[in-house]
């Protein structure tokens, strides 16, 4: 994490775009947070969350979403350690099998809703990482609580059999894409 003038910065990337939907602005803020499951990496992500929250503040009074690869774990996500990659298991074992979950807790506490969890129990949460061995979910679409009723669906697109999926993830990423549909 780099700090400039006492301000937290993202280590990877963030960007936003504002579009007009029926003449009203709607902002999408896309992010890519620090990777890996160590407690030290979670500390970096917590700083990144502070930077993202500052970036999102100007859009707080209008519809917006925070979306992307947060490389973080939901506090209620069921994670079967036996199904994750060996190197990931080793990192988690090295810290007493503790899986960091504070970043998503803080995002939820700040007034955002994980669009994917709406209408699902933790056992039904889908996974996005990796495409070769999907056992974790690190990719999210967060909406402000005031927008929760506008979420129509949010799901992981696993491939051509999934409505709306073309299978491009096989060539573009080691993460499965997440699709969210919202009424604006």
Residue 166 in this model has a pLDDT that exceeds 80: no
pLDDT score of 172:
62
Contact 77, 111 (CB under 8 A): no
pLDDT score of 133:
77
For range 130-138, the mean pLDDT: 83
pLDDT score of 102:
97
Average pLDDT, the chain: 88
Helices (H) then strands (E): counts for the chain? 4, 9
pLDDT score of 170:
57
Domains of the chain, CATH where assigned: 3-182 (3.60.10.10)
What is the per-residue pLDDT across 117-128, written as a single tens digit (0 to 9) for each? 999 999 999 988
Cis peptide before 130 (omega within 30 of 0): yes
The b-or-e profile of 54-89 (16+ CB within 10 A means b, else e) is ebbeebeeebbbbbbbbbbbbebbebeeeebeeebb
Chain centroid offset of residue 150 CA = 18
pLDDT score of 3:
44
The pTM (predicted TM-score) of the whole model is: 0.89
For range 5-33, the mean pLDDT: 85
pLDDT score of 1:
39
Strands (E), the chain: 3-4, 7-8, 13-21, 24-32, 64-69, 112-114, 139-144, 151-156, 178-182
Q: Which of 21, 12, 79, 18 is nearest to 51 (CA)?
A: 12
Q: Which of 10, 34, 138 is nearest to 85 (CA)?
A: 138
Between residues 30 and 167, which one has the greater pLDDT?
30
pLDDT score of 78:
94
What is the per-residue pLDDT across 53-67, written as a single tens digit (0 to 9) for each? 999 999 999 999 999
> Percent of the chain scored above 70 by pLDDT?
88
What's the pLDDT band for 134 if we cut at 50, 70, 90?
confident
What's the pLDDT band for 154 if we cut at 50, 70, 90?
very high
pLDDT score of 168:
54
């Amino acid at each position: 994490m780099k700090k400039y003038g006492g301000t937290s910065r993202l280590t990877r990337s963030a960007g936003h775009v504002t579009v007009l939907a029926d003449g009203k602005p709607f902002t999408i803020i896309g992010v890519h947070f620090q990777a890996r499951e160590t407690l030290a990496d979670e500390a970096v992500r917590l700083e990144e969350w502070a930077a993202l929250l500052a970036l999102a503040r100007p859009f707080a009074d209008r519809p917006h979403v925070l979306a992307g690869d947060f490389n973080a774990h939901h506090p209620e996500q069921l994670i079967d350690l036996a199904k994750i990659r060996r190197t990931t298991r080793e990192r988690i074992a090295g810290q007493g099998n503790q899986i960091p979950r504070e970043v998503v807790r803080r995002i939820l506490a700040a007034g955002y809703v994980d669009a994917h969890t709406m209408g699902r129990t933790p056992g039904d949460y889908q996974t996005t990482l990796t495409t070769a061995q999907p056992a974790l979910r690190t990719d999210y679409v967060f909406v402000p609580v005031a927008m929760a009723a506008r979420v129509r669906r949010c799901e992981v697109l696993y491939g051509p059999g999934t409505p709306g999926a073309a299978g491009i993830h096989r060539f573009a990423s080691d993460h499965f894409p997440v699709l969210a549909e919202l009424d604006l």
